[in-house]
């Protein structure tokens, strides 16, 4: 049995056998959504190979249960490339999601905005990304499956339904392009000007490797950013992790409304 298969067995023993439909990966300051799920929480420390250390503002539990009538697996914390230099740090959790029956995954993150019309407290649905890090979680993967097409990586049907959900609950959620910067330092103003010219609308330190891995595993993927600050050099707002955590709840309330409606409509 594979490692992900063993972990899926362990999770099913605790959480029941019903297959999971949708995986949710929660970003900085968004961990409270895990508490909204009716189900059971399994600490990552009980799941060998799951990321332990994490980052403050994340909640390292896997919660399996029901949210708005849909069986979900909520990853309360994620591992980032910048923690240990592993772009594939979320591969095992996503493999486990697939073993549990998961078909779709929605990644959420905190991000800086490059668009004046998308201020702190806004949310943005990713329409595409720019891998500004040059890293890839599939480096070292020996099979031809590594040559993953990334056209429509952000599933058009999921995006359409997320936008419909946002409209139904009266939340403004523009589509936009997310640039992945490795972190952990924030960007310089010159880097922000550069990625703006390349077409980015938001910038952050996560999500892109998870979307690449999801496509590799055959999971349909979508992602939503909560804007916690204007990107470096775009305003006098001070950029820090503390600020990210403090501002995340502004967008998180909107994100929760959209996600709940999306799930209520079938997920």
230 is catalytic: no
Q: Which of 239, 250, 252, 263: binder of ligand HPA (CB under 6 A)?
A: 239
| Site for ligand HPA, residues 184 to 213, rule: CB under 6 A | 186-187, 203-205
Contact range with ligand HPA by CB under 6 A, out of 62-70, 80-88, 108-116, 214-222 = 108-116
| Site for ligand HPA, residues 209 to 238, rule: CB under 6 A | 228-229, 231
Q: Judged by CB, which is closer to ligand HPA: 203, or 211?
A: 203
80 is catalytic: yes
61 is catalytic: no
133 is catalytic: no
Q: Judged by CB, which is closer to ligand HPA: 102, or 204?
A: 204
Please report, to the nearest 10 degrees, the dihedral formed by the alpha carbons of residues 120, 121, 124, 129 taken in order: 40
Q: Three-class SS string for the chain?
A: CCHHHHHHHHHHHHHCCCCCCEEEECCCCCHHHHHHCEEEEEEHHHCCCCCCCCCCCCCCEEEEEEECCEEEEEECCCCCHHHHCCCCCCHHHHHHHHHCCCCEEEEEEEEEECCCCCCCCCEEEEEEEEECCCCCCCCCCCCHHHCCCCCCCECHHHHHHHHHHHHHCCCCCCEEEEEECCCCCCCCHHHHHHHHHHCCCEEECCCHHHHHHHHHHCCEEEEEEEEEEECCCCCCCCCCHHHHHHHHHHHHHHHHHHHHHHHHCCC
The CB-of-225 to ligand HPA minimum distance in angstroms stands at 9
| Total of residues contacting ligand HPA (CB under 6 A) | 14
Q: Judged by CB, which is closer to ligand HPA: 37, or 205?
A: 205
Regarding 110 and contact with ligand HPA (CB under 6 A), the answer is yes
205 is catalytic: yes
The CB-of-198 to ligand HPA minimum distance in angstroms stands at 15
The CB-of-32 to ligand HPA minimum distance in angstroms stands at 17
Tokens standing for residue 153: 């990586």
Beta bridge mates, 74: 24, 63
Contact range with ligand HPA by CB under 6 A, out of 5-13, 61-69, 105-113, 144-152 = 105-113
Q: Judged by CB, which is closer to ligand HPA: 99, or 187?
A: 187
Which residues carry out catalysis?
28, 58, 80, 82-83, 110, 205-206, 229, 241
Residues that bind ligand HPA (CB under 6 A): 110-112, 181, 186-187, 203-205, 228-229, 231, 239, 244
């Amino acid at each position: 049995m594979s490692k992900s298969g063993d972990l899926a067995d362990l999770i099913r023993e605790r959480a029941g056998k019903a297959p999971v439909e949708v995986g949710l990966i929660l970003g900085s300051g968004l961990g409270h959504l895990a508490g909204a799920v009716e189900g059971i929480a399994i600490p990552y420390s009980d799941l060998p190979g799951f990321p332990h250390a994490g980052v403050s503002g994340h909640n390292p539990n896997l919660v399996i249960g029901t949210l708005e009538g849909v069986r979900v697996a909520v990853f309360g914390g994620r591992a980032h490339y910048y923690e240990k230099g592993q772009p594939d740090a979320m591969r095992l959790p996503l493999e486990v999601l697939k073993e549990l029956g998961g078909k779709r995954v929605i990644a959420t993150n905190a991000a800086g905005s490059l668009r004046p019309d998308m201020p702190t407290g806004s949310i943005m649905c990713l329409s595409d990304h720019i891998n500004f890090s040059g890293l890839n979680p599939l480096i070292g993967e020996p099979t031809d499956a590594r040559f993953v097409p990334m056209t429509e990586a952000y599933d058009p049907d999921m995006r359409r339904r997320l936008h419909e959900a946002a409209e139904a609950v009266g939340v403004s959620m523009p589509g936009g392009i997310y640039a992945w910067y490795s972190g952990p330092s924030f960007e310089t103003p010159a880097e922000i000007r550069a990625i703006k010219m390349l077409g980015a609308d938001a910038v952050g330190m996560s999500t892109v490797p998870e979307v690449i891995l999801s496509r590799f595993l055959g999971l349909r993927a979508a992602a939503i950013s909560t804007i916690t600050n204007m990107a470096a050099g775009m305003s006098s707002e001070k950029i820090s992790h503390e600020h990210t955590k403090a501002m995340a709840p502004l967008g998180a309330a909107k994100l929760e409304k959209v996600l709940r409606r999306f799930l209520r409509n079938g997920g």
